Structure 1
Amino acid sequence: MKKTLSATLTLAAALLAGCAASPPVRLYQLRAEPPVAIGVLAIPSGWTWQLAAVQLPDYLDRDAIVVPYGQAGLQAHSSDRWAEPLRSSVPRLLRTDLAALLGEDRLWTAPLPAGVVVTRQIRLELLAFEPLADLSGVRLRARWSVQDPSGGTPARNESAELVALSDGRDVDSLVSAHRLALWRLAERLAGVPATEPTRRAGRW
């Protein structure tokens, strides 16, 4: 009985020590404001846009932030987590960025208000969205279609691979690079020529 009690106390002490040694959970957020300084952009179009479906790969449907591991693996950081699921933040931020590029009154998501007639609809699928192998930035691969809901013109299908470099190889810098990659994707969706954006002062 004494040996059993001693073993139980030893196990409990080990578990408590392990819990005490666990690093604190850090939450990271993709900031709402665009990561570049922009003015009012004149997009020569009378179209009304709708950001429809935004699909993410299953491996991004998790709270933990993932980084490359080995030749083809991904490792989840249990102590570094997204404050908001990417399946929620990515569509919301793309909507914010597209509205900044196209005009707030030209970009809609479902459900559409009464009387709004969409002339171009975007359907987007993210294929990859993770840090580079050397943690120097983030790679985003996506494909999308721009459709005329009336069927008057054929759909335009496009794809892109975008790389946003980070200021460092820490998680905070990589999260900032995730945000910059989303902005660059919004530029491609809006048809803005790819340029090297001017970063805002400080971290974002």
Structure 2
Amino acid sequence: MTKSHIFPVIAAVPVSVLVACGDNDKDGGVPTPDGTPSRTASSRAPTASVTASPKPTAAPTRVVGRYQDLTLVLLRPATMDLKAASAVEALQQFDQLFAEMVAGAPTPAKFSQLANPATAKILNDLLEPQRQAKERGAGQLTIRTTKVKVGTSLVMVDGCFDQSELMTVRADGSRYVDPTVKRGPTMALRAMLTKTAGPWRVDEYVLSASKC
């Protein structure tokens, strides 16, 4: 049975999606730094400006969620511009909902509110082979925010996507570590969120091979 990796790489412009697909060799729920690109659409992205004076926020710097056999750890700086707080919170909700989906749950209704339609559709399409095979992600995924830049209606977040403890659970309950996890246990993360009308929305989610 062939299937694609379930964690995509979303392209570097708003409403653009660049999907990384894995090897067709029982690969499971992990991203890959050397996949092949798929459908794309593009628009010009505004430039985020660097925050001059970050301030402490009341939000926790470490959030841990458990989704069946998958643990998600979200880490963020103790000091951050207050203007970016709601955007970072939306990004963390995006990560939490997708982790829930990776762990085997159906797509939550709120997911389409946190991601642009093209992104939400492609993520669901990528999860379909895993769902059909009745496989799910397990182990631990750690996502660390390291830098936040703030614009008028745009926030750019840099961080580290640590998949070194991820594994996949087969339908029979057996587990295996995806080959791409061994090749790229950590990946640099860049997310772009925009707010034009309504809540903050993830319009860009880029993962690139890097030690972090």
Q: TM-score range by the shorter chain?
A: 0.3 to 0.5
TM-score by length of 2: 0.38
Normalized per residue, the structure richer in helix is 1
